[in-house]
Amino acid sequence: MAGAVFSRLAHKIASIEGPVFPLHVGDTWLPPFDAGRMENLRYEDWQGIHKYTSPQGMPALVDAIVDKVRDQNGIPAERAGVLCTAGTTGGLAAAVGMLAAPGEEVMILAPHWPLIRGIVESFRAVPVLVPFYDRVDSLEAAVAAVRACITERTVALYVSTPSNPTGVVVPPPWLQALAELCRSQDLWLLSDEVYEHHAYRGEHASIGSFAPERSLSAFSFSKAYGMAGNRTGYLVGPPAAIAQCRKISTHTFYSAPTSGQIAGLRALQSGDSWLAESRRVYQQAGDRAAQILGEPPPAGSTFLFLDVADRLDERGIFGFLEDCLDDGLVMAPGPSFGRGHYDSYVRLCYTSAPPDHVAEGCRRLARRLGR
Amino acid sequence: MAGAVFSRLAHKIASIEGPVFPLHVGDTWLPPFDAGRMENLRYEDWQGIHKYTSPQGMPALVDAIVDKVRDQNGIPAERAGVLCTAGTTGGLAAAVGMLAAPGEEVMILAPHWPLIRGIVESFRAVPVLVPFYDRVDSLEAAVAAVRACITERTVALYVSTPSNPTGVVVPPPWLQALAELCRSQDLWLLSDEVYEHHAYRGEHASIGSFAPERSLSAFSFSKAYGMAGNRTGYLVGPPAAIAQCRKISTHTFYSAPTSGQIAGLRALQSGDSWLAESRRVYQQAGDRAAQILGEPPPAGSTFLFLDVADRLDERGIFGFLEDCLDDGLVMAPGPSFGRGHYDSYVRLCYTSAPPDHVAEGCRRLARRLGR
């Protein structure tokens, strides 16, 4: 599983002297808006804050999620089609655990979020990588790339837009065509929309709006509202499927944390202006990072994904990343995003630290890359 | 899976008029000690409170857990043998996901915590019930009961003490004998110690202290410190096994919530006097409930498990539970604790509401039972 790849350099990271640029973690540096902070979730107002909720989640949050995905994602959700989850990780794990039997195949558009591979493997299913975001340049090519990977054992397609790690925002017509392909083959769609609010160029669309009957769409409060530590997100899909997903979630994490659910409810109720401002700050940070590195400005998400093949020696990408640690610069290795396909890439997150700090890290990287 | 059983009566529960006695949920009514409440986890003091921790957990919490399990549980833990989890559910799921391949068998001492069955099934392994707590009355009988269920496909034994739902505190010599049996058969031990602090009669021992090399021991802050909604517990075992468990936990819930980890750290640092007092209150509630119902006082945990066979008609246990709803009394059905073995039982939790309210619920049940 992918986790191990990150840890190879951990001992050396711990011993860095001087400033550290932690651009390897996919996190956001801004603290949440005031009403969403733990210290402002008062026991007096929420006497159940330390107690269980139902495994589905707090009714008030479920209601707010129904409204949000109907209004903003065009998904015809109903209450029974919502499951509050331990982040998007928990939501996608519940979905994969529900739909994939051991040995069945889940297609993953690549380069991909590192954890999706291990999620599929945790339930003894087989991840099948579809190289996509870095090379598909038309609707026809998108459909052909996916179609070529379908076998008799395929049960689902995992789509992430805006994409971690490439920042690609998949055009809505492509999503519609992929949804139709999956409908014609009777496949599930797993939609990862963690970065739905971070599409800076191009329009974010939910593939679940094109094929709601076969889509399990995972969302999160983590990145949009600065709450990754709260471990709270949600999964939306057909009620009968969500009822089956709930069996997996109940038996792997029981429920999303109650305090995280309350914070998520407040995010949906009153987080809009904070979200708009943080989005502006993050886009600016991404544009600045790209400019320093001589890359095109990112279309979405919070990452740049760079091919550094011309700077590698016989030690490969891990040797390069080790050298970068001499500059205090920590980045994620390409193989985590698709082993064998992206071994000469690095990913950096431009929202994991304040913009000036990220910019300084990017300047150090640019020098190293001769850009 | 077991979850469905609870929900059959849900529609009727929602329409109860008059006072409701929610004795079906395994929860604790006392709010946490002041320093452990969300409102007292200040952003100023914990600027990372809304951000990710590592999947293993916060270093300070991991250190505190090492000290606690060495001192209180006699388990020779080290840092690499600790994993902070999404409650005990998350810890046991990570353990089962690590050790059981599809089709392999996990023995479960019964009557059992309802979720352990679904945890085993979530990873496509096979739960094998060992009727135990209600009938085994000697060390020899305990070993014989387990030995009789071992097959070529058995990989682990799940032990819970103090027991949910029976309250039985398994004597340390029995635990030692079961540990030796598992050692001789090269089986894993899954130890559920959620109620370790709620042994009122008899001594709580950790089976992991007798066979640390093959034990994965799951603990929780939920019941002891009134923090079930925080979804934070921990798993302790051999470092190589915990490293594998971490792959499952990372890919099903990523990490325990950061705020729950901070609250857990505070519980270990300064929760002792609150724990002692709450334990006294809960024991008193249990003794009072038992007295009203003409049962022996419970040895441990927070439940009474009653055979109501002589009050059942052709509608069985669900008919009985439905009739109880006329009194506002909600309890959990026996089949959730071991289908086919405990179909005439009900479980009630005497800590899910304040003592006077629980006592009134018990009086209504006693009248219905003719006790």
* CA A61 – CA A59 distance, rounded (Å): 5
Residue A5, pLDDT > 50, answer: no
Buried b (16+ CB within 10 A) or exposed e, A88-112: bbbbbbbbbbbbbeeebbbbbbbbb
pLDDT tens digits along A219-238: 999 999 999 999 999 999 99
Cβ proximity of A307 and A320 under 8 Å: no
Q: Is the peptide bond before A131 cis (omega within 30 degrees of 0)?
A: no
* CA B300 – CA B195 distance, rounded (Å): 8
* Site from A6, A27, A51 to mutate, B interface, most B CB atoms within 10 angstroms: A51
pLDDT at position A6 is 55
Residue A1, pLDDT > 80, answer: no
Q: What angle, rounded to 10 degrees, do the helices at A87-99 and A114-122 form?
A: 40
Cβ distance A252 to B90 less than 8 Å, yes or no, reads yes
* CA B118 – CA B122 distance, rounded (Å): 6
pLDDT at position A64 is 98
Which residue blocks in A124-257 are alpha helix, DSSP H?
Answer: 139-147, 172-184, 239-250
Alpha carbon distance, N-terminus to C-terminus of chain B:
33
* Distance from the Cα of residue B240 to its chain's centroid: 25
Residues of B in contact with A251 (CB under 8 A): 1, 3, 89, 93, 115, 118-119, 121-122
Cβ proximity of B62 and B68 under 8 Å: no
DSSP string, B236-287: E--HHHHHHHHHHHHTTT-S--HHHHHHHHHHHHH-HHHHHHHHHHHHHHHH
Report the chain A residue with the minimal C-alpha distance to residue B246. A3
Taking alpha carbons only, the member of A133, A240, A230, A235 closest to residue A193 is: A235
* Pairwise pLDDT comparison (B9 vs B224), residue with the higher score: B224
pLDDT tens digits along A52-83: 999 999 999 999 999 999 999 999 999 999 99
Helix (H, G, I), strand (E, B) or coil at B83: strand
Residue A11, pLDDT > 90, answer: no
Average pLDDT over residues A312-335: 95
pLDDT tens digits along A207-218: 999 999 999 999
Residue A2, pLDDT > 80, answer: no
Cβ distance B247 to A87 less than 8 Å, yes or no, reads no
Residues of A in contact with B93 (CB under 8 A): 251-253
- CB contacts < 8 A (A, B): 197
Cβ proximity of B118 and A247 under 8 Å: yes
Average pLDDT over residues B32-53: 96
Quick one: tokens of A115? 């954890």
| CA dihedral sign, ordered B159, B161, B163, B169 | positive
Task: For residue B7, name the pLDDT band (cuts at 50, 70, 90).
Answer: low
Average pLDDT over residues B324-328: 95
Which residues, 6 or more positions from A137, have their beta carbon under 8 angstroms from its beta carbon? none
Which of A32, A251, A255 is facing B50, going by the closest CB pair? Answer: A32
Average pLDDT over residues A239-256: 98
Helix (H, G, I), strand (E, B) or coil at B8: coil
Report the chain B residue with the minimal C-alpha distance to residue A86. B253
Residue for token digits 């936990």? B249
pLDDT tens digits along A165-207: 999 999 999 999 999 999 999 999 999 999 999 999 999 999 9
| Region at B10 (left for phi over 0; alpha for psi -120 to 50; beta for the rest) | alpha
Cβ proximity of A220 and A68 under 8 Å: no
pLDDT tens digits along A93-120: 999 999 999 999 999 999 999 999 999 9
* CA B217 – CA B91 distance, rounded (Å): 8
Query: For chain A, which domains are there?
Result: 3-26+273-369 (3.90.1150.10), 46-270 (3.40.640.10)
pLDDT at position B14 is 80
pLDDT at position B98 is 97
pLDDT tens digits along B243-295: 999 999 999 999 999 999 999 999 999 999 999 999 999 999 999 999 999 99
Interface of A with B in 32-91 (CB under 8 A): 32, 37-43, 47-53, 55, 86-87, 89-90
Interface of A with B in 87-146 (CB under 8 A): 87, 89-90, 93, 97, 101-102, 115, 118-119, 121-124
One-letter amino acid at A231 equals R
